Each structure stands twice: as structure tokens, then as C-alpha cells.
Structure 1
Amino acid sequence: MTDTFGEYLKQIREARGLSINQLASLAGISGSQISRIENGLRGVPKPVTLRKIAEATGVSYDQLMGYAGYLPEQDNNLTESPVPGWATNKDKRDFRKMLEDDGELMFDGIPLNKEDKQRIKDVLTGLFWEAKQMNKRKKNSPPSDNTDHSVTNN
């Protein structure tokens, strides 16, 4: 197992026999971006970029999301998140499942096609896990001292 996402991406790319430029072309992203990721000069890519890399390499999107740290290690299934006891049936509707359904879904009166739904799902997935990570950091950080220590001269 590799230590960083960049090393993991390089391992995948090399296993597929792809150069950086070939992967970049297949994924529709720049070669310099892939190089920076692999060399640790850029952090973990956003979910939208991971989707492109997954499609270009044939690696599952969920696998990349998990390795990138967006999904918890013990449970990569987003649909099994705990639901508060006060939640009504309407509250329990899973937006991700709604985006995955084949039924018509509209935004601002405009029907969404499959690609629109996938892009929205990718963006929301990234935002969701980013928010979860931020909330986890807030719970673990010591409370801040909001006392005003400024001195005023009258």
C-alpha cells in the first residue's frame, strides 16, 4: 500500500501503462496537474477530478474517493448514514438516490439529464465529505477564548 494519494495515482497510471500525458488526455485534465498530484505538490483532487481519473483508468470512483479520504475507511456506503430519530419520511429521502434514479428531476424548471445529475452528485459528495471533515475538526479542537483583551485609551 502507498503512503499518499499521489503515489497511489502513479501506481495506477503505471499499472495501466499510461504516461502522464496519456492519462491527462484521457481524463481531460492537464498533465501538469497529474504530475503535481503524483509528486505531492498538490493535495488530493476534488471529487469531480477523481471521477475523470476513474473513468480514464477504469478504477472505480468509490475506490478513488475512499483512498483520497473522502469516504470513511470502515464504511464506503454513503447511503447508510445515521438518521436522527426526529426525521420524518420526507426528511429521510436520500438526495443521492434521487439523483441516481432514472425518473425525471428538474432544477429551476429545467430537466436534468444523466450527465447533469452525475456532476451535481460529484460536487455534493465532495462538499458533504468536506463538511463532515470540518465538523470533525471543530469537535476535536479546544474551545476558543473569545474574551476581548484589547486595551482602550480614553
Structure 2
Amino acid sequence: MEFSKYLKKLREENKLSIRQLALYSNVSPAYLSQIENGSRGTPSPEVLKKLYKPLKVPYENLLRAAGYIDEEKKGPYNTNFNPLSEINELVEKYGIEQMGFFDIEEWKNLSPEDVRLIEEHFKMIVKLAKERNKKK
């Protein structure tokens, strides 16, 4: 399925107007409309990262639909996706003070979905730490 049609299908399945999706994703409604009507090319992975949560779909699914993931190779291609950079952003976002990469070559091979799972783990750690601090 062409990405423009896929985006519109997801938006409609979630009962979102273009304006609502724009508000939830911080992507301009004009840009979203252009993507859906096919007058704009495939959005960048950075834009897709803003869309996956309001569309309630894994980030990797959007990357795949946009052609950024090669099914044959089962990994990213034609993208600037950098797992180490993504994880470092998460470390900063969640205030994790110390983290090291053991066997860094393995970390470089993480998929966008792997990074999303790491973010879920970080959220849980932060939540548990806050609860523990409240009990003290």
C-alpha cells in the first residue's frame, strides 16, 4: 500500500482529523494533508517518530510502510536512523545519569522497535524510582 493511503487509513481508524493528528504529533496540518493527498514525498524517519504514538502503531511499522526498512534484510536501510544517538537522547530525556554500552557493535544493530522497547524500559525505571522516593 502506498504510504499516503496507509497514513490516511491509520488516521481514520483512530478517528482523528488531520488537525487532531497535527496537534498530537506536532506536525503541521498542511504537511500532513500534503502527505495524504500524495503531493508530498515520504516523510522522514524523524516525522514518522512523531506520528507513531497518536496513530497507535509501532514506529517500525511506519518505517516499513514508508520504505525505510527492507523486509529482505530485516533491518533499516535508506535512513539516517542511528540507534546509539536515539538511546543517548533517551538517556538525557529520562535523566539517566550513568549508562555504558558494552559490546557497542551489537547496540549499533538495534532496530527502531528495539529502541522503542528500551524507551518503555526507561519509563518504567523512572516511574519506579519516583514511587520509591515518595515512600522515603
- TM-score bin, normalised by smaller chain: 0.5 to 0.7
- Shift in CA distance, 45/99, structure 1 to aligned 2, threshold 3 Å: closer
- What secondary structure, in the 3-state scheme, does the structure 2 residue paired with 1:24 have? helix
Percent of pairs with identical residues: 36
The reply to whether residue 113 of structure 1 matches residue 111 of structure 2 is no
Computing the radius of gyration from Cα coordinates, the structure with the larger value is 1
Structure 2 regions of 5+ residues with no counterpart? 77-81, 95-110, 112-136
Aligned length: 89
TM-score, normalised via structure 2 length: 0.57
Equivalent residue number for residue 73 of structure 1: 71
- Shift in CA distance, 40/99, structure 1 to aligned 2, threshold 3 Å: closer
Higher helix share: 2
Separation in structure 2 between the aligned mates of residue 99 and residue 30 of structure 1, nearest angstrom? 23
Equivalent residue number for residue 22 of structure 1: 20
Separation in structure 2 between the aligned mates of residue 47 and residue 34 of structure 1, nearest angstrom? 14
Q: What's the offset of the Cα at 1:99?
A: 5.0
Separation in structure 1 between the aligned mates of residue 27 and residue 85 of structure 2, nearest angstrom? 29
Q: What's the offset of the Cα at 1:75?
A: 3.8
Matches within 5 A, 1:45-56: 45-56=43-54
- Shift in CA distance, 28/71, structure 1 to aligned 2, threshold 3 Å: same
The reply to whether residue 96 of structure 1 matches residue 86 of structure 2 is no
- What secondary structure, in the 3-state scheme, does the structure 1 residue paired with 2:61 have? helix
Equivalent residue number for residue 64 of structure 1: 62
Structure 1 regions of 5+ residues with no counterpart? 79-94, 107-111, 116-124, 126-154
Please, what is the CA RMSD of the aligned residues? 2.5
- Shift in CA distance, 31/70, structure 1 to aligned 2, threshold 3 Å: same
Q: What's the offset of the Cα at 1:56?
A: 1.8
List structure 1 segments (4+ residues) > 3 angstroms apart after TM superposition.
75-78, 97-100
